[in-house]
Amino acid sequence: MSFYWQEFFTIALVHFLAVASPGPDFAIVLKQSLTRGRQYAILTSLGVGTGIGLHVAYSLLGIGLIIASNPEYIRWLSVIAALYLAYIGWGGITAKAGDGALVNIDTKEDIAKQSKWRAFALGFVINGLNVKATLFFVALFSVVVSIATPLWIKASYGVYMMLATAAWFCLVSWLFTIEKYQQKLQKKRHIIERVMGVVLMLLAVRIIWQL
């Protein structure tokens, strides 16, 4: 049993370093925090955490090895991910300036633009299409986790990473939606959306460039 604890702590450390590094997940949660508010950002964070379950599932089933061993699969996944990031980014770049007044992020008008389900799905899709995450989890379960480790223990590692990812991005959502900062940021909402849109577009270009 001590061996499994060693495995777990190794996985926990490697996973924390990976999830804390800037990437598409961080960019989209930050964008939601600064332009939609805490509730929507947390829903997106939960979507990101749930997306981890997708990577864990196909890694445990061996599908991840098939994907990782075929450059064509990786290429198509990368293209789809880049197009989706570009689509979200373009929406931010084309954001229009308001009258400078504070925006009530819980108004019906805002909910019509993005439902709570869509906020959750946004995080799930962004994470699910992250090819680097695909390769990361395949490597993690192939190198760090012993083949002799029981399936239920491997699954528990996956559940931990889902919860830890969701918790991390919920913390990010909370920090970036503290009221005294949020009120100032809301006045420059369209500028923030455009900046984050550019960041997402650059991430999309980077993915295509690395093909």
In the chain, domain spans: 2-17+25-209
Arithmetic mean of pLDDT, 162-190: 82
Mean pLDDT, the chain, rounded, equals 79
Let me know: does 24 contact 126? Beta carbons within 8 Å: yes
Higher pLDDT, 108 or 133: 133
pTM of the model: 0.75
With a CB cutoff of 8 Å and minimum separation 6, the contacts of 15 are 140, 161, 164, 165
What does 62-102 look like in DSSP terms, one character per residue?
THHHHHHH-HHHHHHHHHHHHHHHHHHHHHHHTPPP--SPP
**How would residue 106 be classed by pLDDT, with cut points 50, 70 and 90?**
very low
Q: What is the pLDDT of residue 40?
A: 93
Higher pLDDT, 67 or 11: 11
Arithmetic mean of pLDDT, 201-211: 77
